[in-house]
Amino acid sequence: MTLALEVKDLKKSFGGIAVTQNVSLKVNPGERRLIIGPNGAGKTTLFAQITGDLKPDSGSVSIFGNEVIKKPVHARAHMGMSRTYQIITLFKQDTLAHNVVLSLLGIHQRKKNIFNSLTTEDQLYDHAIEFLDSVGLKQQAFRKVSEISYGEQRRVEIALALAQKPKLLLLDEPLAGLSQDERVVVADLINNISKEVTIVMIEHDMEMALAFAEKILVLQYGKVIVDGDRDAVVNDPKTQEVYLGH
């Protein structure tokens, strides 16, 4: 079976400090994979190398059997990879609908059109509103992102990612900074994503994360210290020592 994501011996150093040390990871299609580790373990750096934002010193990354290490970030999006950011990265002065339209256009040939007007009557806006509806934000579609709450902005991030109909979704701390009520809403959204989408998630909220994960990878100082099925990883003494703190 072709793996949804395969990372082999990834290495990255910043001025002599190794932030990713021979990290390898295999994720099956439809799998829910959790990446955990203490702050500074290199989780987001690993994500950045998978997405292409950061060039690794060596190693390889394959998406559904295609080697992507030399492909730019935008090309990886066209291969079915989508992501959310730890720090919300939206177009704050635009409406929620326009944010999702930009996401839809990203994988659409119409983005090259320099002559036809893009108005709110456009079909793309109808699609955008459908995706906003799926994250419970249809009523807010024509409000500016800067006018909605932080928790709602997190949901817009997820709508942007889902609008690209990804095959592989990378979620970087999707619950960060949310209230307990908002966490429940966003966690529900993530748990309801179709199994056709493979999800790799970094998250510190262990209650939600463990309910989500099928497999877990534990990082420390840029190294994989435990990798395997959820229960095995959770009960592993190394995980307990470096992360779960028991």
Partner 1 sequence: MMKKYVLYLLLVAILIILPLFFGEYYVNLGSQIMVAVVFAASLNLLVGYGGLTSLGHATYLGLSAYTSAWLFQNFGMTHDYTALIALVFTTFVGAIFGWISLRASGLSFLMLTLALSQIIWGIGYRWVGLTNGDNGIAGLTRPTPFGINLENSNNFYWFCLIITIASLFFIARIVNSPFGSTLKGTRDQEKRMSALGYNVWMIRWVTFVMASFFGAVSGLMYIYLNKYIHPSVISITSSAEALLCVIAGGAGTLAGPILGSILIVLLKNYVSGFVERWNMLLGIIFVFIVIFMPAGMAPGFTQLKNRLFGGKKP
Q: In the complex, which residues of this chain contact partner 1 (CB under 8 A)?
A: 51, 53, 72-74, 77-78, 82-83, 85, 89-94, 98, 101-103, 105-107, 110-118, 160, 164
Nearer to partner 1, 142 or 184 (CB): 142
Rounded Cα distance between 33 and 6, Å, is: 12
Nearer to partner 1, 85 or 243 (CB): 85
Nearer to partner 1, 69 or 105 (CB): 105
Answer for the pair 193, 162: CB distance below 8 angstroms, yes or no.
yes
Answer for the pair 129, 44: CB distance below 8 angstroms, yes or no.
no
CB of 50 to partner 1, least distance (A): 11
Strands (E), 117-242: 168-172, 198-202, 215-220, 223-229
Nearer to partner 1, 71 or 223 (CB): 71
CB of 118 to partner 1, least distance (A): 5
DSSP character at residue 241: I
CB of 226 to partner 1, least distance (A): 29
CA atoms within a 13 Å half-sphere pointing along the CA-CB vector of 147: 10
Answer for the pair 107, 169: CB distance below 8 angstroms, yes or no.
no
CB of 33 to partner 1, least distance (A): 19
Nearer to partner 1, 63 or 226 (CB): 63
Determine the residue type at 54: L
Nearer to partner 1, 201 or 233 (CB): 201
3-state secondary structure at position 65:
coil
Rounded Cα distance between 246 and 230, Å, is: 17
Q: How many beta carbons lie within 10 A of that of residue 165, not counting itself?
A: 14
CB of 82 to partner 1, least distance (A): 8
CB of 236 to partner 1, least distance (A): 33
